[in-house]
Structure 1
Amino acid sequence: MAHVTNFNLDQKFDFTAALKKSIMLMGGIGAILLVIGIFTSMGGGEHGHEAAGHGTEHVEAPADHGDHAAEAGHAEESDHHAEAAHEDEGHGGYHWSKRFFANLWINNVYFAGIAIIGVFFFAIQYAAQAGWATAILRVMISFGNWLPFAAILMIVTYFIAGHDLFHWTHHDLFVEGGAHYDKIIDGKGGFFYWPLAKGSFPIFWVARMVIFFGLWIFFFNKLKNLSFQEDLNGGTSYWYNIRKWSAIFLVIFAVSSSISAWDWVMSIDTHWFSTLFGWYVFASWFVAGLSSITLVTIMLKERGYLEMFNENHLHDLGKFVFGFSIFWTYLWFSQFLLIYYANIPEESVYFIERLSSDKYGAFIFVNLIMNFVLPFLVLMTRDAKRHTIFLKVVCTLIIIGHWVDFFLMVQPGTLGHNGGVGFMEIGMFMLYGSVVIMVVLTGLSKKNLIAKNHPMLEETYHHHI
């Protein structure tokens, strides 16, 4: 390691007071906007006269499916109107707290995903025996520091607001012959309530959330601690051990990330389903996580850290961001095209509700422009991937853009016409983001920034593309 020893391998990230102040300022502005948003919703009762249920827009049945499709379309329309009416009847219509809870859920799911992607990308490097990214392994794993906080926030939010967020939690949907009985949701009841009675306590659903977060936090701590022990003791045994644990984690993550997407997001639109939804949510999480890792890496490099990290490594990160932006778009388009082409009412209602809404329709296009068009055009050339200014702009756009993606997944199903992007949404995103950044950077500052005894450190030094 003659070359590598020229670098300071014991450097630690100094989380300065000035940087903390900047992050706290962002959080403070977010908190002020959030409070303004709450008071605006309380005072104006924004759209309070409209149904707050599961999208109350009129959905026409596609004509070319004949009478059967028309019948199904009308049934679907009735279901949605009934669902909306039930929400109003059971909870006194729209209330500002519903919008608050919907925003809390969007940010919970979004930032929990970015946190676990840090651990996932770390594990990928070991499973693939990759050496190029050794200099930034600690940046990746540091995102996992948010997972314990995410777990608490997710579980608490469900117990406080689950009834407002998830239509399937209403017990009378499962009472056969009752005024609100829903055959479709009753058929899915076991997925939420097993082994208890449908409409009671969703122990199966809650248990999955607890188990998934428990496993993610366990593997985060296991991989992180093994990596730090390698710093102290050296040798290759730790690398083999981390590789083994990474392989186990990747299998568990493949299953848990898909099921969590069904549980936490797709079940909001209880009647609707998509067979590739798990992949879609993973892709959205992954490109947002990659962008976050890239931004933190650039921030460190600009402050004089990560000396061996150069434009070749930056190019690789740029290629990942570029490639997985296209991958996310491929999944978005695949899901949309298949539903559009099949023209089945119970599937197409998801997109019709969003596209025909004056609250959400425009954001479909904002989503595609921020997450595909701009990243594709800006990062298309080799040079763009090797300059921090382009990557900083694109990664920031992507992080905001994929928040919009989750906003579109959650709000129409929880708030119907009462949603939208206002002070409350912007404020909570800024507040949440600043707290996550504080937690991640605090964790990053506690140990060595470089995995100094990693057996592939020399490969990082010589990495050239």
Structure 2
Amino acid sequence: MATLTQQESATAERLVVTDGARKIFLTIIIAGVVLLVAGVLAAIFHWGAASEATGTVAHQAGSPLWLKRIIVSLWHSNLFILGISAVGTVFVAINYVAYAGWSVIVKRIAEAFSVWLIPGAIIMFVVFLLGRHDIFDWTREGVMTKGSATYDRIIAGKSGFLSTPFYLIRMVSYLVIWWAFSWKLRKLSLEEDLNGGTQYFHTSVTTAALFLVLYAVTSSMSAWDWIMSVDVHWFSTMFGWYVFASWWVSGIAGITLTAIFLKQNGYLRFLNANHLHDLGKLMFGFSIFWTYVWFSQFMLIWYANLPEEAVYFNQRLGGFNGQYTAIFFFNIVINFFFPFLALMTRDAKRQMIVLKIACIAILVGHWSDFYLMLMPGTMRGENGFLIEIGVAAIFLGSFLLLMTRRLSEASLIPMNHPFVEESIHHTT
């Protein structure tokens, strides 16, 4: 990739979302609907060996199996994309606070990712209200009532925290905080484009610093609420960091992949191999960080061998007739070994084709990571993939439609950002 000369200056670029691009996104959604319908039919009529195998595990009382899988899949894929959406704002905020200049070239992509926060929040709220009994055992009738046939002493001991009103208050608080700061940083960015001056940058730095403090707390708490409380008897003090690491590296992969596609379609002409190199370093480094947190959590639980902690990994590594064993090892390979080996060299981090493959692998891998976090605690041994992949495709196509529309609303290059010239001439 050619290096820009020092004489070149930033010029505005506007994304035009073509009918062809929209058709691709709609095709992804339609393919998801087809897979979803096929999965529902397979679950109802017990088609295929997988359905017969999972039928050996007794289905709990509640919604029909196919409906429960849809509910859990909506929670799963929405959580994954919602976390990535918030990471777009986290990426912008970190670079503001760090006074980083290199990332300005991809700043608008990160800003556009936050577009899913409102639809994602609505979906999460509705799914919880309508399907919470299929996701969370602690919401079931009588589970916290002493003397009830379904009473659970351990769950009842957590009743002060795991109560539906308090849970909803926390959920709304997390999402409002994430959305409000995303909206504010985006607003300041657009006003800076229109009016110039450094006051918008300095206000953004202050806003970003406050957001990062609040996000550090709310992201961990949201992981406890939305994922860890699925396995309500189990707990891990490292879980918040684990979920954040998965969201963060997936968000970086999403930003990188979007930047590459824009570059290959004639946009972001100032994006060069040096920017890709830095994005590649972030993916490489945080894939290792995710593995560090994963191994630390696993090793401590394995070494202590306490039943109330070891049950989490027993279910995923051999439990339910080995339903999740292959996914458990696939998770380690695709989320650590593959990005580690693919992105190890400097040249690999500067090649679009290598980065594209690594980004797709990371996104698929961490979607499967969330699958492994949620399915054993909800579906037990009655898991599947057609419904889950179908729902994921519907969410992906919808996210791409909204995200590209947000990208097209402003220049891809923040024209009056104080570090824009530094970014377009960035070298490593």
Shorter chain as denominator, the TM-score bin is over 0.9
Contact kept in structure 1, 2:270 and 2:424, CA below 8 Å: yes
Q: Secondary structure at 1:249's aligned position in 2?
A: helix
Give 1:30 shift.
1.4
- What TM-score comes out, normalization by structure 1 length? 0.88
1:248-397 correspondence to structure 2 within 5 Å: 248-357=210-319, 358-397=322-361
d(CA) in 1 for partners of 2:155 and 2:142?
A: 11
Residues 1:241 and 2:241 are matched in the alignment: no
Q: Secondary structure at 2:333's aligned position in 1?
A: helix
1:33-432 correspondence to structure 2 within 5 Å: 33-44=35-46, 46=51, 47-48=54-55, 50-52=57-59, 87-88=60-61, 91=62, 95-193=65-163, 202-357=164-319, 358-420=322-384, 422-432=385-395
Percent identity over paired residues: 46
d(CA) in 1 for partners of 2:394 and 2:231?
A: 27
CA deviations 1:115-143 (Å, max 9, x no partner) are 00001001111010000111111011100
Consecutive unaligned residues in structure 1, runs of 5 or more: 53-86, 194-201
Contact kept in structure 2, 1:116 and 1:147, CA below 8 Å: yes
Q: Secondary structure at 2:143's aligned position in 1?
A: helix
d(CA) in 1 for partners of 2:271 and 2:13?
A: 14
Task: Give the letter aligned to residue 383 of structure 2.
Answer: G
d(CA) in 2 for partners of 1:108 and 1:309?
A: 30
Task: Give the letter aligned to residue 276 of structure 1.
Answer: M
Give 1:462 shift.
2.6
Equivalent position of 1:15 in the other structure = 17
Consecutive unaligned residues in structure 2, runs of 5 or more: none
Runs of 4+ in 1 over 4 A off after TM superposition: none
Equivalent position of 1:443 in the other structure = 406
d(CA) in 2 for partners of 1:172 and 1:343?
A: 31
Q: Secondary structure at 2:147's aligned position in 1?
A: coil
CA deviations 1:235-263 (Å, max 9, x no partner) are 11110000110001001100110000000
d(CA) in 1 for partners of 2:394 and 2:41?
A: 17
- What TM-score comes out, normalization by structure 2 length? 0.95
d(CA) in 1 for partners of 2:7 and 2:38?
A: 53
d(CA) in 1 for partners of 2:200 and 2:297?
A: 42
Contact kept in structure 2, 1:205 and 1:263, CA below 8 Å: yes
Contact kept in structure 2, 1:4 and 1:458, CA below 8 Å: no
CA deviations 1:252-307 (Å, max 9, x no partner) are 10011000000000000000000000000000000110000000000111112112
Larger C-alpha radius of gyration, 1 or 2?
1
Give 1:159 shift.
0.8
CA deviations 1:123-178 (Å, max 9, x no partner) are 11101000011111101110001110000000000011001110000131112132
Q: Secondary structure at 2:77's aligned position in 1?
A: helix
CA deviations 1:14-59 (Å, max 9, x no partner) are 111111111211221111011100111112284446223xxxxxxx
d(CA) in 2 for partners of 1:211 and 1:178?
A: 32
Equivalent position of 1:433 in the other structure = 396
The root-mean-square deviation of aligned C-alpha atoms, in Å, is 1.5
d(CA) in 2 for partners of 1:216 and 1:139?
A: 17
Task: Give the letter aligned to residue 32 of structure 2.
Answer: G
CA deviations 1:386-406 (Å, max 9, x no partner) are 000000001001101000000
Contact kept in structure 1, 2:110 and 2:255, CA below 8 Å: yes
